[in-house]
Amino acid sequence: MSVIELKNLTKQYGKSRGIRNVNLNVEEGEIFGFIGPNGAGKSTTIRTLLGLIRPTGGSAAVFGKSCIEHPEVRKEVGYLPSEVFYYDGMRVTDLLKYSASFYKKDCTKRIAELAERMDLDLNKKIADLSFGNRKKVGIVQGLLHEPKLIILDEPTSGLDPLMQQKFFELIAEENRKGATVFFSSHILSEVQKMCGRVAFIKEGKIIKLEKMSDLQANSYKRISLEAESAVPEEVFRIDGVSDLHTKGNTVSFMFRGNLNTVLRKIASVSLRNISITEPDLEEIFLHYYTKEG
């Protein structure tokens, strides 16, 4: 059984916004990245999954059950929303106790521990907190009941780099203890560090779902070469080549596929210089967004 299962999940509001036929399975114990630019439908997907909004088509399940029909499955879910809002009049400690009261277990120790690690003052009023500190409350609030599924929506916005570091350590720790993590972000480098698999979403549709290792190591190469003389563009018009730029003697492109075919092509050119590098996710990502979208 998958921890998260989205089948043809569709949510339409208005004309253009929403998501269309999103299919995803997140398996137990993995850290799953959900990548897309702002407005692509990441938050909509999460909110539909959690039952905050109802799908117009398809289904969404957590631990095999719909959050709308079985709200109790949410007891194993910890959620950190992208924008954190709480009851302004409350103190941090009251809010966290209120949050803990929904889970029928004693979270006092855990709250103290998380607050210390995140350097959060429990006695302050929520209304007096800065955006970053509010986010910390959100992190503690999302983790205090040791959920089996952690859903993070743009978790690092507002956190300083040091806190981001601590936050990632915390998430990695939870993951080692067995928690599944669903990590939505538009910042690729942070997803790259943590996730095992990643789905790309654009304009409400999943455009690619891949293992991080496939994405990075095996398939994509960024190849730049400089030849002795001008290279006709047609030479590298082969399957697997994209983002092809030729300018005089220099050629650069992305390649995915059998390396031997491209190496034979390269060998046919008289070279002055060559570099073959791993593209970072950012490059792969931009590539999807410009070419396949």
Partner 1 sequence: MNIFFRELKANRKSLVIWSVCMALGVLSGMSKYTAYSGDNANNGVLNELPRAFRALLGMGDFDVTKMSGFFAFLFLYLELAAAAHAVLLGSGILAKEERGKTAEFLAVKPVSRSAIITSKLCAALVNLLVLDAVILISSIAMVAAYNKGPEINGEIVLFVLSLFLVQLIFVSMGTLFAAALKKPKLTGPAAAGVMVGSFVVSEITNLTDRLDALKVLSPFQYFSYSGIVRGDGLDPLAVSLSLALAAFLLWLTYFCYRRRDLNV
What tokens appear for 216 in the block?
């990075």
Rg (C-alpha) for the chain, rounded Å, is 23
DSSP state of 127: G
Q: Which is nearer to partner 1, 75 or 265 (CB)?
A: 75
Using CA atoms, how far apart are residues 184 and 27, in angstroms rounded to an integer? Answer: 16
Is 87 or 132 the residue whose CB approaches partner 1 more closely?
A: 87
Q: How many CA atoms lie within 13 A of 245 on its CB side?
A: 8
189: Cα within 13 Å, side-chain hemisphere:
3
Nearer to partner 1, 16 or 268 (CB): 16
Residue that is written with structure tokens 């400690």 in the block: 93
Q: Which residues contact 116 (CB under 8 A, 6 or more apart)?
A: none
Listed ranges 95-103, 115-123, 184-192, 216-224: which one lies at the site for partner 1 (CB under 8 A): 95-103
* Closer CB to partner 1, 47 or 287, in the complex: 47
Q: Which is nearer to partner 1, 39 or 257 (CB)?
A: 39
Rounded distance between C-alpha atoms, residue 132 and residue 251, angstroms: 45
Q: How many residues bind partner 1 (CB under 8 A)?
A: 27
Task: Tell me how long the chain is.
Answer: 293
**CA 235, 241, 246, 251 torsion-angle sign:** negative
- Choose the stretch contacting partner 1; rule: CB under 8 A; options: 44-52, 167-175, 177-185, 263-271: 44-52
Check binding of 38 to partner 1 (CB under 8 A): no
Closest CA to 277 of 215, 196, 220: 220
CB of 151 or CB of 188, closer to partner 1:
151
Asked if 75 interacts with partner 1 (CB under 8 A), we say yes
**Is 98 or 131 the residue whose CB approaches partner 1 more closely?**
98
Binding mask 101-120 for partner 1 (x = CB under 8 A): xxx-----------------
Stretch that binds partner 1, among 74-82, 112-120, 162-170, 175-183 (CB under 8 A): 74-82
- Give me the least distance between CB of 83 and partner 1, in Å please: 7
**87, 217, 232, 275: which one binds partner 1 (CB under 8 A):** 87
The reply to whether 184 sits near partner 1 by the rule CB under 8 A is no
Under rule CB under 8 A, residue 51 binds partner 1 = yes
Taking the alpha carbons at both ends of the chain, their separation in whole angstroms is 32
265 near 251, Cβ under 8 Å?
no
Give the residue carrying structure tokens 């698999």.
197
Min dist CB 233 to partner 1, Å, is: 50
Give residues in contact with partner 1 (CB under 8 A). Answer: 13, 47, 50-54, 71-75, 77, 79, 81, 83, 85-89, 98-99, 101-103, 141
